[in-house]
Chains A and B, each alone.
Chain A
Amino acid sequence: MWERTLQDLIRGLRANKKDESKFISQAVDEIRQEIKSKDMELKAAAVLKLTYLNMLGYDMSWASFHVVEVMSSPRIHLKTVGYLAAVQSFQQDTDVLMLTTNLLKKDLSSKPEDVAVTLNGLSHIVTPDLARDLSQDLIAMLNHSRPHIRKRAVLALYKASVKYPEVLSHSMSRLKEKLEDPDPGVVAATVNVLCELAHQNPRDYLALAPQLFYLLTTSSNNWMLIKIIKLFGDLSPYEPRLVKKLQPPITDLITTTPAISLLYECVHTCITGGMLQGASGNALARTCVTKLAGFLQDSDQNLKYIALLAMVKIVPTHPELVAEYQDMIMSSINDQDISIRMRALDLISAMVSRNNLQPMVQQLLSHLVRTDSSTLPSATQSLSRYTGSPSPPAPTLGGSPSQSPAYRLTLSQRILSLGAQDVYENVVDFEWYISVLVDLAYVAGVDVGVEIRDQLVDITGRVRGARRYAVQLMVKLLSDDTFLLNASDAGSCAEVLWAAAWICGEYCGELAEPQKLLPYLLQPRLTAISPDITAVYLQAAMKVFGFWAAELADRWDDDDLPKVKDTVDMVLERTSDFVTHPDIEVQERAANILQLFTFVRADLSSYRPKTDAGFAYGESSNSPVFDGIAPAEPQFPKSLYLIRPLFGSYELNPVAPSAQASVPLPEGLDLSAWIVPPPDVSHVIEEGEEEPADGKHKKSRKGKGKESGKSKGKKRMERTEDERTTLLSGALETEEEKAEKELRRAERLERMRDDPYYLIDDRPSMKPNPVDVDSIPVVRLDDLPPLPQAVDPQLPNLRSSPAPVSFVIDRAGEMPEGAVHPASQPPERDSPSAFENAAPKTTTVPPSLVPQYDLGDEIPRTGSPQPIKVTRAKKKGTGGGKKKRTSKPDTPSSVPQAD
């Protein structure tokens, strides 16, 4: 007599809030006893209690057999409990379901109350087997005398057909009849089911259009009308005549119905069903947009939400209609409701254009600024603000929706994709956009650094006009101690420093005094940031020095000597810290720098002003960098020219998406021949097995096949193409090598499919736009005012030459020489990608060496350049095509070591 009822259990739970788990474990023990009882009432009560506990998260799968026992009770009040427990706890893989087939069959032929309960239960627990075995019974139920049962049978039949589609072929005609059922509830349920079915497979249900159309024009049940309208929205794309037929009744509904949900559904269907085309469609579209705009102004937030949702769909076809309400939409971005903000964001992304990008991005950006300032600070302002102040406050959770990290992330990504859309199609002023990117890096507080980095590098590569400004901003970033200090925080966007270092290194020609940057690039605090960024810093430092030294040499003055010496000493001193860096990549680069600079230092210290008779060797005329100087008597330490050619010989250009495909096959290269004949194992297995070893073998294999026909242009192409190419000196091919080559060719071809390096386009920022960029004509923009240049005496200034004011986006990217242009490419394309620009400088011959370090009397110079090993350093783990493209040959093998 101590059994607890469900009420007792609940009461006990409420009384034992403090020790709930103990109470429940006790209760479950009781249930385990009761559930085995022979008394069905007691068993059912136990199952019911268990079902309640299941809702609170306690397992009841162990009791599934007892649940079936209760289901089989002939008494409806117990059977109901059993079915409820089954519905709540059974999964598709519950084994006892196999036992229920006969039980369900029996229940389906029982009293109407039992049938109702069974049909409801079956719609939840149905499995493919049950559906197959019970389909006949279900179809028979469609003609039950009670409408309540017919309704349930229609829905249960649908659920069965989901698990066992063949049910449908038997029942389709019956289902059609149900559209004319005398009971409106049955008709509504049938429409409901048809709506679900047609959503998956619209073509099969076109035949039902006349009946549905009749219902549409006669029924007044709004629930059903909504479903019918939705159904037609799915059907009409497959039957163009339907559109014409539907236009009048839908227009009628839109103008007359008082039910907003129906109105919205009509508008929605007009949009998705393609009813807005043509002259009559335009009128309808205007009506729709006007109605939606009405919703937008409504005080009911739900209508606002719905209106934004529908407008997103209408924008692609009728942007001009939606644009009329731009202000209203923009104000929705400021709504306190995050749901509405999200929809408005979607809509804004869909309606962005050249004219409105700037204000839109400004407004979005202002949401990210934590100090609720309505006016957006320019990049310069925000930079100076942050450099002076301590670190920006950590993102606080909760509070206004702008503070939620997920929302900030969405917002930041939206800003980035707005700008990058169609290769920066909508960006008019790139200096503005670059400053937006930098601002974003400061205010985002979420992890979008990689995207910002990629865009920065991409833009500076593509838009020559913006480089100067980009370098200026990047110098500020590099010199911002606070940013570096916070770089290890989450959401600090430290990857932007990667871009900053790379851009400053690559385009240091824009700086008047690049050497001032060196202390920033080599500061000891770099050890705190990610190794791949540090590596780029080191590389940039080398580029900057190389550029500066060469510049200095061009107009050499002996007074410069101590300055250079100091700088070299500084570089050596600071670099030596990085030689012991835990990251191998940093270590290697530091070691490279150390060696090169030790050499430079030795040269500098041996340099005697005006006593340089032994310097000049005629061979220096080979190198174009010497062209401007009297070749016989260089009046400067020659090692100053050592570094620049290592980096500056080729210009880095964006690579056209189709470039890789256009690389002509070298003669005699058969990529389909086996390199190693396949072992006995089948082809497919071998492919899978070899996958892990891929990276290891690649290096040695690459490029061998490409030896033939290599030219200077070719080399350049390969480097920008990011081929890891080893150019070997003209070794003779032996027979074995030939055979080996054949085999490797085939293997290589096999690999190319999965090899990320063979991706046609590896620029991440391009990803959102899979459109054919080649077909976009290059746009030249004129008459943009130059931005005022902020002058900071502490930092290296830009050169004084007037800034170019037009932004030319190199959309097409570079193509390999001799490539066949794709047909889509306009032949008159003004390509700044510049084979021409780089062509004159296509030699990688290092400048001649100072005699003291020369081993022989002369370096043998023939027509062909000294063999140079171009080693592509591969950095692991940090993604992005950017990196690949930016890597430089590190050390020419022919440079003798100074020590």
Chain B
Amino acid sequence: MIHAVLIFNTSGVPRLTKFYSPLQQSAQTLIQKIFALVSPRPAGLCNFLDAPDLEAFLMPKDGDGKKLRVVYRSYATLFFVFVVDTAESELGILDLIQVFVESLDSAFENVCELDLVFHFDEAHHILAEIIQGGLVLETNVQEIDRAVQEAAKARKESFASANPLSLGGGGAVGSRGAGIQTPLGWLTEKLTGEHRLGAVDEIGGYLGGFTVSHRHAVFLSVSIVYKDHLQYGNSTSYSYWEHIVRCH
């Protein structure tokens, strides 16, 4: 089964953490350890982390003999890390990461790190449509999209009925009208409207027999400035852009 799904950026700041089995140590330690091992690895190396430092660290203390393995993939400024045991296929998990990213991409339309920052709850909901309790729930991107949208629609309707005065304030909790600087309805529009799925219907990689394109990597970095400016207020965008450039 899958024991953990982690997303952190190139500075090691967690963007999404999900643990499906009780932790042996604090989540922060685990992230830092994995980050320290993943971040210096240049592109082109294999996506399985198998360092001797990690083995002692990941070994479950109860010693039920299940060896854990770290499978990771990096997209632009983000590392997607899955910690899995031997019941999962290593290559399969690589493709699952791709499925996850594509689902995020179609939900957020060219997803970038900031989408995950500001909508971490939404990212969790999407992940919940792919993995439940450490087991894979669905692997079909279209099916996942459909389920994500359904759930988002239900939340939106519920929100609208509770706040009849708000003009489609989105599924996100806490969009409380006054004082909101983000353009209203962005998320709702995207999730309910006829948003493009994009040309991402292939399940890339080892399952379909294709090699994974670097399309996302390109999109992820290019779309940041645009989105930052438009959707998250530009007060901090410059420094953030700088930060990203430095990370590259």
Assembled-state Cα–Cα distance A398/B14 (Å): 23
The answer to whether B87 and A305 have CB atoms under 8 Å apart is no
The answer to whether B50 and A339 have CB atoms under 8 Å apart is yes
Q: In the complex, which residues of chain B have a beta carbon less than 8 angstroms from the beta carbon of A404?
A: 51-53
Among B124, B135, B138, B139, the residue within 8 A (CB) of A193 is B135
The answer to whether B51 and A155 have CB atoms under 8 Å apart is no
14 contacts between A and B (CB under 8 A): A11-B233, A48-B173, A49-B174, A55-B17, A57-B26, A76-B155, A78-B158, A88-B18, A226-B89, A264-B91, A301-B47, A302-B46, A302-B48, A306-B91
Assembled-state Cα–Cα distance A305/B46 (Å): 7
Q: What residue of chain A has the Cβ atom nearest to residue B154's Cβ?
A: A113
**Interface status of B167 (Cβ within 8 A of chain A):** no
**Interface status of B3 (Cβ within 8 A of chain A):** no
B-facing residues in A88-103 (Cβ within 8 Å): 88, 91-92
Among A56, A120, A222, the residue within 8 A (CB) of B14 is A56
Q: In the complex, which residues of chain A have a beta carbon less than 8 angstroms from the beta carbon of B133?
A: 120, 123-124, 155-156, 158-159
Q: In the complex, which residues of chain A have a beta carbon less than 8 angstroms from the beta carbon of B121?
A: 6, 48, 51, 80-81, 84
A765 CB to closest chain B CB (Å) equals 22
Assembled-state Cα–Cα distance A458/B233 (Å): 72
The answer to whether A7 and B89 have CB atoms under 8 Å apart is no
**Interface status of B132 (Cβ within 8 A of chain A):** yes
Q: Which residues of A contact B (CB under 8 A)?
A: 1-3, 5-8, 10-11, 14-15, 41, 44-45, 48-49, 51-52, 55-57, 75-78, 80-81, 84, 87-88, 91-92, 113, 116-117, 119-120, 123-124, 148, 151-152, 155-156, 158-159, 185, 188-189, 192-193, 195-196, 199, 222-223, 226, 230, 258-262, 264-265, 300-302, 304-306, 309, 336-340, 342-343, 398, 404, 406-407, 409-410
Q: In the complex, which residues of chain B have a beta carbon less than 8 angstroms from the beta carbon of A41?
A: 162-163, 173-174, 176
Q: Mark B16-39, 1 if CB is under 8 A from A, else 0.
A: 111010100011100000000000
B95 CB to closest chain A CB (Å) equals 7
**Interface status of B241 (Cβ within 8 A of chain A):** no
Q: Mark B105-132, 1 if CB is under 8 A from A, else 0.
A: 0000000000001101100110010001
The answer to whether A340 and B46 have CB atoms under 8 Å apart is yes
Q: Kindly list 16 other residue pairs between chains A and B, CB separation below 8 angstroms, not including A5-B174, A340-B45.
A: A1-B179, A3-B176, A5-B173, A6-B174, A51-B121, A84-B124, A88-B18, A159-B134, A189-B136, A223-B139, A258-B209, A259-B206, A261-B91, A300-B46, A302-B46, A342-B50
Q: What residue of chain B has the Cβ atom nearest to residue A399's Cβ?
A: B40
Assembled-state Cα–Cα distance A92/B20 (Å): 12
The answer to whether B53 and A6 have CB atoms under 8 Å apart is no
The 8 closest A-B pairs by CB, nearest first: A123-B133, A261-B91, A301-B46, A5-B174, A45-B174, A339-B50, A258-B209, A77-B155
The answer to whether B173 and A123 have CB atoms under 8 Å apart is no
Q: In the complex, which residues of chain A have a beta carbon less than 8 angstroms from the beta carbon of B143?
A: 185
Assembled-state Cα–Cα distance A105/B87 (Å): 31
Assembled-state Cα–Cα distance A485/B179 (Å): 70
Q: In the complex, which residues of chain B have a beta carbon less than 8 angstroms from the beta carbon of A49?
A: 174
The answer to whether B140 and A14 have CB atoms under 8 Å apart is no
Q: In the complex, which residues of chain B have a beta carbon less than 8 angstroms from the beta carbon of A76?
A: 154-155, 158
**Interface status of B58 (Cβ within 8 A of chain A):** no
The answer to whether B135 and A14 have CB atoms under 8 Å apart is no
B132 CB to closest chain A CB (Å) equals 5
Among A5, A148, A195, A230, the residue within 8 A (CB) of B147 is A148
Assembled-state Cα–Cα distance A195/B92 (Å): 15
A632 CB to closest chain B CB (Å) equals 69
The answer to whether B1 and A14 have CB atoms under 8 Å apart is no
**Interface status of B4 (Cβ within 8 A of chain A):** no
Assembled-state Cα–Cα distance A75/B163 (Å): 11
Q: A155-B137, A195-B87 are in contact. Are A8 and B158 (CB under 8 A)?
A: no
Assembled-state Cα–Cα distance A502/B135 (Å): 58
**Interface status of B207 (Cβ within 8 A of chain A):** yes
Q: Mark B39-66, 1 if CB is under 8 A from A, else 0.
A: 0110011111111110000000000000
The answer to whether A304 and B46 have CB atoms under 8 Å apart is yes
Q: What residue of chain B has the Cβ atom nearest to residue A83's Cβ?
A: B128
Q: What residue of chain B has the Cβ atom nearest to residue A13's Cβ?
A: B117
Q: In the complex, which residues of chain B have a beta carbon less than 8 angstroms from the beta carbon of A305?
A: 46, 48, 50, 90
Q: In the complex, which residues of chain A have a beta carbon less than 8 angstroms from the beta carbon of B135?
A: 155, 158-159, 189, 192-193, 196
Q: In the complex, which residues of chain A have a beta carbon less than 8 angstroms from the beta carbon of B207?
A: 222-223, 259, 261-262
A-facing residues in B227-241 (Cβ within 8 Å): 232-233, 235-236, 240
Q: A76-B154, A151-B138, A342-B52 are in contact. Are A6 and B173 (CB under 8 A)?
A: yes
Q: Mark B206-227, 1 if CB is under 8 A from A, else 0.
A: 1111010000000000000000
Assembled-state Cα–Cα distance A56/B139 (Å): 29
The answer to whether B174 and A7 have CB atoms under 8 Å apart is yes
Q: What residue of chain B has the Cβ atom nearest to residue A126's Cβ?
A: B133
Q: What residue of chain A has the Cβ atom nearest to residue B93's Cβ?
A: A261
Q: In the complex, which residues of chain B have a beta carbon less than 8 angstroms from the beta carbon of A124?
A: 20, 133
Q: In the complex, which residues of chain B have a beta carbon less than 8 angstroms from the beta carbon of A48?
A: 121, 173-174
Q: In the complex, which residues of chain B have a beta carbon less than 8 angstroms from the beta carbon of A6?
A: 118, 121, 172-174
**Interface status of B199 (Cβ within 8 A of chain A):** no
The answer to whether A11 and B48 have CB atoms under 8 Å apart is no
Assembled-state Cα–Cα distance A625/B178 (Å): 105
A220 CB to closest chain B CB (Å) equals 11
The answer to whether B140 and A185 have CB atoms under 8 Å apart is yes
Q: A226-B89, A265-B89, A302-B48 are in contact. Are A1 and B178 (CB under 8 A)?
A: yes
Q: A75-B162, A92-B22, A261-B92 are in contact. Are A407 and B137 (CB under 8 A)?
A: no
Q: In the complex, which residues of chain A have a beta carbon less than 8 angstroms from the beta carbon of B232?
A: 11
**Interface status of B245 (Cβ within 8 A of chain A):** no
Assembled-state Cα–Cα distance A260/B212 (Å): 13
The answer to whether A10 and B117 have CB atoms under 8 Å apart is yes
Q: What residue of chain A has the Cβ atom nearest to residue B47's Cβ?
A: A302
The answer to whether B206 and A261 have CB atoms under 8 Å apart is yes
The answer to whether B132 and A120 have CB atoms under 8 Å apart is yes
Q: In the complex, which residues of chain A have a beta carbon less than 8 angstroms from the beta carbon of B50?
A: 305, 338-340, 342-343
Q: In the complex, which residues of chain A have a beta carbon less than 8 angstroms from the beta carbon of B150?
A: 113
B118 CB to closest chain A CB (Å) equals 6
Assembled-state Cα–Cα distance A509/B120 (Å): 75
The answer to whether A226 and B92 have CB atoms under 8 Å apart is yes
Q: In the complex, which residues of chain A have a beta carbon less than 8 angstroms from the beta carbon of B124?
A: 84, 88
Q: In the complex, which residues of chain B have a beta carbon less than 8 angstroms from the beta carbon of A113?
A: 150-151, 154
**Interface status of B192 (Cβ within 8 A of chain A):** no
B185 CB to closest chain A CB (Å) equals 14
Assembled-state Cα–Cα distance A262/B95 (Å): 12
Assembled-state Cα–Cα distance A15/B92 (Å): 40
The answer to whether A77 and B236 have CB atoms under 8 Å apart is no
Among A156, A258, A264, A398, the residue within 8 A (CB) of B132 is A156
Assembled-state Cα–Cα distance A339/B44 (Å): 12
Q: What residue of chain B has the Cβ atom nearest to residue A300's Cβ?
A: B211
Assembled-state Cα–Cα distance A158/B26 (Å): 26
The answer to whether A406 and B52 have CB atoms under 8 Å apart is yes
The answer to whether A189 and B137 have CB atoms under 8 Å apart is yes
Q: In the complex, which residues of chain A have a beta carbon less than 8 angstroms from the beta carbon of B89?
A: 226, 230, 261, 264-265
Among B90, B162, B175, the residue within 8 A (CB) of A5 is B175
Q: In the complex, which residues of chain B have a beta carbon less than 8 angstroms from the beta carbon of A1?
A: 178-179
The answer to whether B174 and A77 have CB atoms under 8 Å apart is no
**Interface status of B94 (Cβ within 8 A of chain A):** yes
Q: In the complex, which residues of chain B have a beta carbon less than 8 angstroms from the beta carbon of A88?
A: 17-18, 124
**Interface status of B180 (Cβ within 8 A of chain A):** yes
Among B91, B138, B174, the residue within 8 A (CB) of A44 is B174
